[in-house]
Homo-oligomer: A and B are copies of this chain.
């Protein structure tokens, strides 16, 4: 037997017991005639004591143990002299009577501590050692807990977890597919799913009523910190529902997760239309941990002869509350920030509402004191505030000011990771114009239904058609999105037409779904949550890589197992393919 207890459970209640523990040597120190060793497992750390006075040979053996050795000890639980209140087992120690080395360990390439000295590359190569560290393991324990609670909630709501296939068919819509050559069907390929979208809709046609799945999805896109070629979704679909039903049910899921996993009462999730979100925050995923809404100033600031504003489509600003004392240097830094190529703004105008009540703007020469007053009033500003204003083409300037708003909030410490501000954004546009291809694309996906009252606009003003589509945003991150789907063959065909499909192409790619709609398809809709992102939000970290056990790097490589890798000529021949 390798153990009677874990390294995290013995307390004063166990005094006198003879126990067997197994685990890793965390650290070791000598003190007089004694050696103290912390032995670690997933559950905790327990102090072992070896005393020369009891057994000199045993104590010598203990002194030879290196860090990360795997050991098994038998001993008696005794009370500790100097207790460690930070440790669950901190009141006891084990007086060891026998010691087995189950496995020796080389010196790890980095320290197995909460703050390691290992760089990213080294930690990825030896991911199995990195996973020994508490912060990394805790993320995966959190992930486990979130997965189990998600299933528990959805099961109670009568959802059925149904596995959809991983080997499916490549479609031209959406991101790039990973493909899998078929040996049995030479020249043909499977594709890995970007989402189980059509399958979950077919399950609704089948009458499954409520479906969910925690499912791996795949996108062959160039990678960033928050993107992985394989990622996990909480994928859900319901029949006989309207948008309101879905928002309520999944608001319930998110509240359940916060309550059970973090002990946080999330309260009601506010809602905002896409238009409001863009107008007030310049983003379809506004961070609502803080206010700082946009204030539009065309009426007040245009026409005063200041060309930057006069020539702009939109003049818009935010109130950096309490920042009137910002120095010239700080203001210059903000200007530099918005001028960075990835933001691309040209300049920033400020109005300082000094503590003494005076107003001072970088555009002073164009505005009289009355206008400055109006300007300040538009923001409801108070002495001590700093108003930051930008101008330009509406869509662009909103995006730029969004970046500035987030940056200022970060500087003010308003983006606290332990504070959670969820939000439903609703009424997304159905289509968005794509400059590159010169046509409209589906903003969500081609199966999203337009609002019935907007269908007449499809021909005349397609960009104005609103969809029954919604996103759940937390702290400025989109963690879920969905829609009420089209369940009518004619409307679906019309959508494909507007997306540039010929009827033949639509039938070839999605004929099975169009056909399914003719055999009695119920109204249905659903949502999918990015599970990796959800876990990252709960963990209070930025990169999803840190919540994935074995992630890939930005080149799509797993440097631990050295994948991808060449395959043999025999394999290529069997698959009827060649490398070019």
A579, CB-defined interface residue at 8 Å: yes
**B residues within 8 A CB of A577?**
181, 577-580
Min CB gap A360→B, angstroms: 53
Interface stretch, picked from A276-284, A389-397, A557-565, is A557-565
CB atoms of B132 and A206 under 8 A apart: yes
CB atoms of A565 and B170 under 8 A apart: yes
A344, CB-defined interface residue at 8 Å: no
Among B2, B69, B160, point to the contact of A242 (Cβ < 8 A): B2
CB atoms of A128 and B202 under 8 A apart: yes
Among B189, B202, B520, B566, point to the contact of A24 (Cβ < 8 A): B520
Min CB gap A52→B, angstroms: 26
Size bracket, chain A contacts: 35 or more
CB atoms of A148 and B167 under 8 A apart: no
Q: Which residue of B lies closest to A531 (CB)?
A: B163
Q: What's the Cα separation between A68 and B517 when bound, in Å?
A: 12
Contact with B along A107-136 (1 / 0, CB 8 A): 010000000000000000011110110000
Q: Is the interface of A mostly helix, strand, loop or mixed?
A: loop
A429, CB-defined interface residue at 8 Å: no
Min CB gap A26→B, angstroms: 11
CB atoms of A169 and B205 under 8 A apart: no
Q: What's the Cα separation between A222 and B185 when bound, in Å?
A: 12
Min CB gap A158→B, angstroms: 8
Q: What's the Cα separation between A103 and B518 when bound, in Å?
A: 8
CB atoms of A571 and B185 under 8 A apart: no
Q: What's the Cα separation between A568 and B567 when bound, in Å?
A: 23
CB atoms of B166 and A230 under 8 A apart: yes
**B residues within 8 A CB of A562?**
169, 511-512
CB within 8 Å for A519 and B106 given contacts A22-B240, A170-B567, A183-B220:
yes
A151, CB-defined interface residue at 8 Å: yes
**B residues within 8 A CB of A184?**
222, 555-556
CB within 8 Å for A241 and B580 given contacts A148-B151, A160-B144, A549-B163:
no
CB atoms of B189 and A178 under 8 A apart: no
CB within 8 Å for A137 and B168 given contacts A240-B2, A562-B512, A565-B189:
no
Min CB gap A174→B, angstroms: 13
23 A-B residue pairings within 8 Å (CB atoms): A2-B523, A3-B240, A41-B207, A41-B209, A70-B522, A103-B522, A103-B523, A108-B519, A132-B206, A144-B161, A166-B166, A166-B218, A167-B229, A167-B558, A168-B561, A169-B565, A179-B181, A180-B192, A188-B564, A199-B549, A203-B549, A512-B561, A577-B578
Interface positions of A (Cβ within 8 A of B): 1-3, 6, 22-24, 40-43, 68-70, 72, 102-106, 108, 126-129, 131-132, 137, 140-141, 143-144, 147-148, 151, 155, 160-170, 172, 176-192, 198-199, 202-203, 205-209, 216, 218, 220, 222, 229-230, 232, 240-242, 487-488, 511-512, 516-523, 548-550, 552, 555-558, 560-568, 571, 573-580
